[in-house]
Structure 1
Amino acid sequence: MGRVLATGSGVVLDLIRSGQATTRTDLVDHLGWSRITLSRRLNELLDASIIVSAGQLSSRGGRPPEEFAVHKDAGLLLAIDIGSSHTRLGLTDLVSTVLIEDEADIGFPEGPERIVEWVTQVVDYMLEQLGTTRADVHGIGLGVPAPVDTATGHITTPDVEPVWKGVVLPDLFTGEFPAVCAAERDVNIMALAESRLGWPDYRHLVVLKAGVGVSCGLILDGRIYRGWQGGAGELSRPAPPDGRQRRVEYVASGGTIRRELLSRGHSVRTSADIVSLASAGNDDALELLADAGYTIGDTLIGVVAALNPQALVVGGNLAEAGDPFVIAVREAVRAGVPDVAGAGLVVEQARLGDKAGVIGASLIAQDALFDPDRISRITRDAR
């Protein structure tokens, strides 16, 4: 949908948030507005405590320009990254700097009621630690391990856990917090965080999340590509001998490695246990991680060839093993990708590690809170 307030204050805020223009001169140059119109919009944002003056930049000749920034301390964002067996959450400021976080072995299959109960208990404790209240939470970002239709807030996969059928994800916490809420697939929030903060100079990324499950997030021209019904990024490959397609996590993932290690007499429960075993030099864990890396890398050849990204970012719990897994993915991709797509392709470990989910959830909360049309309406109504 196009901007309904094309000259509203939200358009100005969008440029300030992105860093494209943070001074009056740069904003006028980007927008083509008169200085009077721009001053009105800046005053609206300042009066609403949405932005602050961040001081003066070095002079370019004449009076030093005043720089504007988001008022990061004007509230909090709640970031929730729900995994298949583990959930992380954090409170951040309004520019997604993590202030406090927690985690627990509670996952998606336990259902929305149990997760909401746990989250609210933990958040109340964290708010108390920060000397704040629920009223200070202005935005909520929620990641789940399933495709999400961001227009409706519903999970779209047909085989979703029964307790999640029909649940409108952004509505889960609206009764607990007076906040704007956004929901997204877990691999997409990870990809968004890596794109904006880990690899800010890269506009085209494929971000692999390899843990108990395996999927990838697609960043095209700096934006999440979700496909129809949010299902982009699912990976599958033929399974011999019949050649029928199977999801790659049934062939190579933290889950398949765990089962094989258990059959060989090793005590492992999570992907983190697999990484710990590999870090201790266990040959079985190292072998299985490399095998999984090659298989997943081979599966990604078609994705890289079709999308021609600047980088393939290898993340998720298995990537925490480092070289044994990442090198295998890199070698498999480079062995099969066409020259055009492979020229200059970077294949490296994710830079944000296990922080990516919470940061990404905070970023979608930030985007929802500072949606340009929403901000334009709020400041217009206040005026």
Structure 2
Amino acid sequence: MYVVESKGGAIACMLLSLFFLGTWPAILAMLERRGRLPQHTYLDYSITNFLAAVLIALTFGQIGSSTPEEPNFLTQLSQDNWPCVLFAMAGGVVLSIGNLATQYAWPFVGLAVVEVVTSSITVVIGTTFNYFLDDKINKAEILFPGVACFLIAVCLGSAVHSSNAADNKAKLESMATDHVDVEKPSNASVIPSEAGLKDVEGGNGPAHSAKAGTAKYLVQLENRRSIKVFGKNTFIGLGITFFAGLCFSLFSPAFNLATNDQWHLLKKGVPHLVVYTAFFYFSLSGTVVAVILNIIFIYRPALGSQKTSFRAYVTDWNGRGWALLAGVLCGFGNGLQFMGGQAAGYAAADAVQALPLVSTFWGILLMGEYRKSSRRTYVLLCSMLFMFILAVAILMASSGHRK
């Protein structure tokens, strides 16, 4: 099998993973804003996410000859390594639940803030666990100042959300004074018009689309999107965001335990799980949980999203191509993160949690987030991103080398 051994190769894996993991959330958020039901989107995403893991295992995991110390993927499937397999599967479960939770947090809090807060929580908790699990191969004097920067980014992210929510409220109140009722839209007023949803995948919208950042744009977005947020407490979004962050903080340590068996649970003579075998079980469990939860949400939707059916999901091709692409990007992003982490330490590999830098770029460029916001919001947003960039640079500088 192919094994990343050099520090440079590990960093290259992290950077490529960073781009993939920062892009797929923007795609899913874009589909929700265009009206595609999150249950349909996440089922499509889960399918290709698992297929990406299978492809990685059958290619990188099968390159070269198998040895007793490092068996290939197919060889290891029949070995007695279930204690570590269970850790890998547990990591897949918490990651899948966290990803599902973020899909319901984006409409309330915004893509940039959700990704920054969840990633920062992941680093603060998960990186600390990984540092000790990896036998302290990362430089503590560099690593933990980076963790502190991520913690500051969490606080700034909450402040950005609060400031942006106040800006949007002011815009809507200003529009209400012009005799436009936007504070309490009826159920009829929030059903997307036929003209607004001709092609979710292509992004065709109504001809009279308002400019991003205006009150009229906020109303049109509310009418079009699949999860309605007007009239709901925005702290719901923050609560879901922090829950997702706690889930994300556990998946990397669980994967670390699965591949390195620091607690010596394997029988004597049984080799450690290779990255590709662990990733296969990791993705398998995550996919099973995602399918079960989303089938439940199809018939019992969460947070006021539309009730649907499995038949409606099968025939819903609007935006399916984008959702399938998101699953591929996430699958390869996670695989590259684990390949780099096995070489340079999983604590350093948590640098891919800089994915909000990529997500924020797509959110501003494609979805018009933070357009026409106040100066206070812009200052907080820039401060949050700067602290994130600094934290990522410090975390990568702490990279070690696993013997």
Q: TM-score range by the shorter chain?
A: under 0.3
- Which is richer in helix? 2
RCO higher in structure (CA 8 A, sep ≥6):
2
TM-score under structure 1 normalisation?
0.26
TM-score (normalizing by structure 2): 0.25
Query: Which of the two has greater strand per residue?
Result: 1
